[in-house]
Every structure is written in C-alpha cells, then in structure tokens.
Structure 1
C-alpha cells in the first residue's frame, strides 16, 4: 500500500513538474521595454498626433489590427473594425489671425499666433469672429465672452498663461469657438474694445464629418455563454497645431495602447481561457469617448455582465501612485473596485482612487457594466507638446502589469490552477520529488 501511495505521489509530482515547467517555458513574458519601444513608435512624428479624421489615425488603426492578428486574435462577431461617423476639426486654407482695427478700418494691433493667441481645439462651429463692445456679454480678469449673430464665443487666458495646452474636441460644446490669449493680450484687448474698436479673428479649421474605426481582437474561451472580459485603450490623440507642432500623446495614450498590445501577447500564450477575452483599441476618446459609446450601442446585448479593464496613461516617470479610476458616482466599496484594491494591497503597490468620467470606462458605467481605468494621473505634460516617450518609466509600467495581470488572469483562467499558480506548482513539484527521493533512499538503506 505504501509503495502504491509513493508511486502515485511521484507520478503526481512529475506531472505537476511537466505542466508547470511547460507553462514556464512557453509563456510569453510581459516586457516593459517592448511597451516603451511601441510607445516611441506610436507617438512618433510619423503619426502627427493621431487626430481622428486624419490618415495617420487610420494608419494606427491598421497597425493595431496587424499586432492583434500577430497575437493570434480573431475578429469579434465577424468584425476586426467597427466603423462609425464623427465630426472632427478639419484644417482649411488660410492663416490664423487676431487683429484690431479702428472705426476708419486702419489696423491698430495685429496679435502674433502662438505668442499672443492661439485656438483651443474644443470647437469650430464658426471659424471667423468679428465683434466690438456691443457684442461683449461679459468681461473678467480671465476672459471675454462675446455673442454675435453667429453664436457665442469666448477668448480666455489658459492656466499658467500657457498657450501650448490643447483641449479635446467636443462638437456639442457651449461656444462656437474658443480662443486662448495671454494675460497681456487680454489686457490689451480690453483696452482696445473699450475704445470702440473692432476685433477680427479667424482660425482655419472647420467642423467636418468623417468615418473612423475602433479595432477589435477576440480570444474565445471555453465558456461561450459568459460575456467576454474586455481589455481596452484608446489610440487617438489631438493632432497638430497650425504651426505644425505635433502633440505626440505618449503617455496619453500611446502608453495604454502599447500596454494592451503587450498584454495580448501574454494572455494568448497561456492557451484557451475559461472566459473569452476581447481586446479593443477605442477611437475618438478625445472627442468625448465616442468610440466606446459606439461600441456599447452596437454590442450591448453581448457585454451586459462583462468586466472592463481600460488603460489610459500608464508609465509616468513622476513619483505618483497607480490610480484605480471609476466613474464619478462609483465608490471604493464597489465589489469590482474593491477586488482590484485588494490586489494592490497584497502586492504592496502604491495606489489611490479617482472617480471621474474621464476615460472610456465612463461609457460602460453609464450602462451599469463593471469597468475601471488604470492610469498614472500625471497631468503635468498632458495635451501639450511635452508629452513624449522619454518621460515614460519602465517600473511604472511593470507596476501596473503586476496588478492588472493578476486580476485579468483570475477572471479569465479561473479554473486552471496551473496557469494561475504555475510558479508555485513548479516549486511544489520539485519539493515533492526531493521528499520522495529522500524517503526512498531511507527505505532502501533500511532494507
């Protein structure tokens, strides 16, 4: 009987060793350096800020599709791309100007583009504004509000008097056009308007309509009845200004996209999951999370009980905590958020919470679908030309991976203990074989 038990024990340990070592050698290991190299490529000048509606944005969508295919992912519901229409700011002919003329039409002041004034990208329902003091509805130390027959406009001083910041484009926003001016320029404008001069402003953009795409890659699980776990990141950014300055968007959000692509390689190398996994590159997040909203509109029936792991701004080199971001009405007591925070605590990860409708998790939470965004909430360079790949940190990327991979694998491979604990299984099998060898040697000596 003892010999039978010993034989069964040895066979068990050998099988455990075989499967765990096989997993160890076939598993694709997440490489933060690969993530940084991909961030460098996606945020390079070649793609000119990835503004939806541009050729460069389409090229990135094609690139994502190619990378997801390399990971062995398939179309979702027969589709690699989900196409949808958006309004976007299209550059037109002409040079921007902001100038002031007297009653006789003689030019008094010609402000310098990007030094004295600059467009903010929020909207361009009207791109030409002419007004005098009769059109002014409000003046403060920070802004001038104007109303003409064409609609409402605002000229304002941006935070820190910095004209380099560029907002997201929101076609339904309050004002027809948003013009940033420096403190000095605003003071000068107030004085000139008060003397009943005429202000004339033109910005060569117009709101146009185009078709853009989300990109999807699907890894089918054994449980085809449960909705998929969704891993996502947006890939669009805010393009270039009228001087051709590129807003690279390395942290926001070449980082989240590159993280997702590297994660796809890891998860597909584990084999067929218990629960299906859907990878999505969302477009037009910078236009108001339009890509995720369009996705839910089309696929809501299939994802009601999904869990969404979204990645937006991963890898800041500033010493800040990893942020678990929920929607504005979420709390730390929600089960999904609590489960992630427990992993952070067990891994001794420096983290905090943020509850804002500030990324693609918003669209899912509005439909009461579990969703969070992992982010490094570092706003020091976001939406400026300074958001470049050389500010990305390898340890910060790895920190996020340690938390996210733990949570995702538990959701998707929940019944496969060897996948979940292959390192522990390998160690247990080695210890078991050593114990068997020791006992066997003792019994041999005794006989």
Structure 2
C-alpha cells in the first residue's frame, strides 16, 4: 500500500513537472526592457506628441495596427479599426501668436513674449483672436484671472498655481470658453494696469478647431468559449502634441507607457496558449479630448461587451513615492468586484496600492454603461501634461509591479484561473524538489 502511495505521489510530481516545464519553455516572459524601448519610440521626436488629428497620431494608429497583425491578433468583428469623427486643435502654419497692448490709434505700446509671458492652453479654440478694453460689457477679474466676453465668445487669462507656463490641458471642444490663455503673474498685473489706463489688449493664437477622423485600433486572441464576452485590455495612445515654440509634449508616462505595456502583454498572453475567453486589445484614441475614443467604442459595441471585464492601463511607470493605483468610476467603491479582486491580488503580491474613484480615464465609458472596468495607473501628476514627461523618469520597477498584479488578474478571468499558468514557477521548483526527495528516499532504502 505504501509503495502504491509513493508511486502515486511520484506520478503527481512528474505530471506537475512536465506541465510546468512545458509552460516555462513556451511562455514569453514579460520583458520590461521592451516596454521601455517602446515608450522611448512612441515618445520620440518623430511622433511630435501624438496629438489626435495630426499625421503623427495617424502614424501611431498604423504602428499599433501592424503590431496587432504581426502578433496574429484577429480583427474584432472583422475590423482592426473603428473610425469616428471629432474636432481637433489644428495648428495654423506660417502665423505667429501675439499678445500686445495698443493705444486708441492702434500703436503698439507693449509686446508680450510667447512662452515667457503667455502661452495658449489647449482647452479650446472656437475663436482664436480677440481685442478688448475696459469698456467691454463683461470683464471679470480676480487675483489669478481675467474673463472677457466678446459677442458670444468667452475668453480667459489665468495664472497657473506654480506661475509656470508648462501645463497643457486636455482639449475639450464643448467647453463654454472659446479660448484659454496662460499668463505669468507679472503679465496679468500688467494687463490689468493697461486696462485701467484705457489701452486695448489684443491676442491671437494660431490654432483653430477643425473636424477630422480618428481611429481606435482593435484585435483579439480567440478563446475556447466563443459565446462569452471578451476580456478587454486597453490603453490610449494619443497625447498633446507641440506648442507654438515647438516644445514636444512627449507623454512618456501619459500614455506611451500604458500603450507599450499593452503591446508587451499581447506577446506574453499569446504564449500562454488558448484562453478560455477571448482577449480583446484596444488602442484608444482621443482620450485627451475627453475619452472620445472609448466613448465611441462602447457606444458602438456595447451589446458585444456588456459582460466583459476591462483592464485599462494609463500612466504605468512611476513608483517614486507613488503606490500602484486601482482606479474605478466615481460611483464605485472598494467593494466593487474588480476593485476588490485587484486589491486582493495586490495584497497577495505584497504590492503597496491605493484606490482612486474618478472618471479620469477610459474606464469611464464602460462604468457609465455598467460594464466592469478598472484602470491601473501610477498617479504621479508631477510632470504629466508638461514637456517634462519624458523617458528618463520612467521606472522599470513600477512597470514590473503593475505586471505582477495585472497579469494575474487577467489570467484569472481569461484563463479560468489556471494554476499551471499562474504558479508554473512554483510548480516547477516544488516538483523538482519532490522528485529529488523521492529519489533520495528510494536510494537510502535500497542502501539499507
């Protein structure tokens, strides 16, 4: 009886060994260095900040599509692309910005310097040129701002809290402001002074709102269960372009990092074999315009994804005093299913984390339609939406910690929590140790 038990245990160890070894040999290890290289590429000079509507943004669309095809992802419902229309801030070439002061005869009294004294915010460009004086019907003034009404347009001058002209807002075409200008505190004080003396303030910014088309990019790994809604992995690839001094808003953390993370996850998950549920990968466009791409996607495909689980990646690559953040919608709590599941995995992996409940990324449209969705992010806002969001501040250890959590969550839902996939390393070590102990025990018994 004891001999049969030993043979049974030996068989178990051998089965675990061969299954774990096969997984080890076939798996594509998630490569953080590759993620870093892709972030470097997407945030390079060539893509000029990936502003939706620009040629460079369209090149990124094509790059992601080619990555999907090269990794043998299937087109979602027969298509790799979802095309939609939107308005974007189009730069007017061969035109220079100005902010100046003129007298009643039109003589220039003062020229302010672009990027030193003033700079456009990205918010809106429904009207890009205006003049006003203290006789305008509406001039609201505070310590940090001046709001002007001209005809049906509202314009805002404001001083950023740090008095620097680096931050660039997302573009929000429906915003009631027609244009928004950042100015230094000295410039704001000077404008108020010139207004009180009866001078005219004149401003022109060579951007204009223009309609264009953009694309989300979609591809999936087909699962065994073709009736179930897919597990969704997503990231937005757009950013904020360049300013009029040609400073590039590279968006390395926001969100070349999430895009690069998603692309590397394709290789890793493909190597695990056929999932039980299909895994749909989506590169969202126009997140910086108010999550337009993800809203368009959910609006069109809601009936195909209503029972999906969505794992979105936005800003993965900073752990300098910042925990991994699990972001849910404004109406979620830490008890919401995916929030609770991800937090438990963080605890199991000894990953320091916190919660955030904001509609501040592409999970928003899913949650508004009662589709399970969370965003993984490193909530470091110290450099985002500025030219300082560059590769040099990306942390490989932050990427690794997100992978340690997110990969297990995805395997849990897409591969039915397959223990061989999740614990293949442990299985390999334990089975080897068990086989060695059995061999030693048999040898000892034979020797005696």
Q: If the TM-score is normalised by the length of the shorter chain, which range does it land in?
A: over 0.9
Following superposition, the deviation at residue 247 of structure 1 comes to 0.6
Which portions of structure 1, spanning 4 or more consecutive aligned residues, are displaced by more than 6 angstroms? none
Give the structure 1 partner of residue 23 of structure 2.
23
Give the structure 2 partner of residue 321 of structure 1.
323
> Which digits, 9 at most, give the CA deviation of each residue in 1:182-228, with x for residues without a partner?
11011111111112221111111110011111111201111112111
Following superposition, the deviation at residue 413 of structure 1 comes to 1.1
Unaligned regions of 5+ residues in structure 1, if any?
none
Whole-angstrom distance in 2 between the partners of 1:419 and 1:439: 30
Aligned pairs for 1:59-98 within 5 A: 59-93=59-93, 94-98=95-99
Aligned pairs for 1:188-337 within 5 A: 188-316=190-318, 318-337=320-339
Whole-angstrom distance in 1 between the partners of 2:268 and 2:16: 22
Aligned pairs for 1:408-423 within 5 A: 408-414=410-416, 416-423=418-425
Give the structure 2 partner of residue 182 of structure 1.
184
> Which digits, 9 at most, give the CA deviation of each residue in 1:158-193, with x for residues without a partner?
121111111110000120010111110111111111
The number of residues matched between the two structures is 446
The root-mean-square deviation of aligned C-alpha atoms, in Å, is 1.6
Matched, 1:120 2:121: yes
CA contact (8 A) 1:274 1:415 kept: no
Whole-angstrom distance in 2 between the partners of 1:415 and 1:309: 16
Give the structure 2 partner of residue 13 of structure 1.
13
Cα distance change of structure 1 residues 427 and 222 upon mapping to structure 2, 3 Å threshold: same
Q: Secondary structure at the match of 1:159?
A: coil
CA contact (8 A) 2:238 2:288 kept: yes
User: TM-score under structure 2 normalisation?
Assistant: 0.96
Q: Secondary structure at the match of 2:135?
A: helix
Q: Which of the residues 345, 357, 362 maps onto 1:360?
A: 362
Whole-angstrom distance in 1 between the partners of 2:245 and 2:420: 56
> Which digits, 9 at most, give the CA deviation of each residue in 1:42-84, with x for residues without a partner?
0001100000011110111111112222322111111111111
Which of 118-127 and 436-445 deviates more?
A: 436-445
Following superposition, the deviation at residue 15 of structure 1 comes to 2.8
Following superposition, the deviation at residue 283 of structure 1 comes to 0.3
Give the structure 2 partner of residue 101 of structure 1.
102
User: TM-score under structure 1 normalisation?
Assistant: 0.96
Following superposition, the deviation at residue 322 of structure 1 comes to 0.8
Aligned pairs for 1:140-151 within 5 A: 140-151=142-153
Cα distance change of structure 1 residues 85 and 8 upon mapping to structure 2, 3 Å threshold: same
Unaligned regions of 5+ residues in structure 2, if any?
none
> Which digits, 9 at most, give the CA deviation of each residue in 1:392-445, with x for residues without a partner?
011111111111111111111115332222123223422442344345445655
Whole-angstrom distance in 1 between the partners of 2:440 and 2:31: 39
Q: Which of the residues 132, 152, 155 maps onto 2:154?
A: 152
Give the structure 1 partner of residue 48 of structure 2.
48
CA contact (8 A) 1:49 1:239 kept: yes
Whole-angstrom distance in 2 between the partners of 1:358 and 1:11: 52
